[in-house]
């Protein structure tokens, strides 16, 4: 059965992302995570990626990867108490 998920973290800080994942893992709370690299998105079939087509000049490299952590909705209260410590 698939339950609803809630986003615990969404941002560009890899250290914060890893810190939250370690807290959740230590508490035994199931979580899913995703990393979205905005420079590797394809423009169109046969056109290549954003970085391959336009390069990375002027791009803030600290904001190219977006990290997201999701937890099951039923674990939301437990997660909030762990993260607010």
Q: Give me the domain span that covers residue 16.
A: 5-83
68 burial (CB, 10 Å; 0-12 / 13-18 / 19+) is: middle
Looking at the structure of the chain, the number of domains it has is: 1
At 1, is the pLDDT very low, low, confident or very high (cuts 50, 70, 90)?
Answer: very low
Average pLDDT, the chain: 80
pLDDT at 26 over 50: yes
DSSP E strand stretches across the chain: 5-11, 31-37, 42-44, 48-49, 65-72
At 27, is the pLDDT very low, low, confident or very high (cuts 50, 70, 90)?
Answer: very high
- Amino acid 36: pLDDT: 84
CATH number, domain containing residue 11: 3.30.70.1530
Distance (Å, rounded) from C-alpha 22 to C-alpha 6? Answer: 18
pTM here is 0.73
């Amino acid at each position: 059965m698939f339950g609803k998920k809630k986003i615990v973290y969404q941002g560009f800080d890899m250290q914060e992302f890893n810190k939250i994942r370690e807290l959740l893992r230590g508490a035994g709370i199931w979580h899913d995570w995703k990393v979205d690299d905005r420079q590797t998105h394809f423009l169109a079939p046969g056109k290549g990626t954003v970085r391959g087509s336009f390069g990375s000049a002027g791009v803030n490299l600290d904001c190219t990867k977006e990290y997201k952590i999701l937890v099951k909705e039923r674990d939301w209260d437990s997660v909030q108490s762990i993260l607010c410590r």
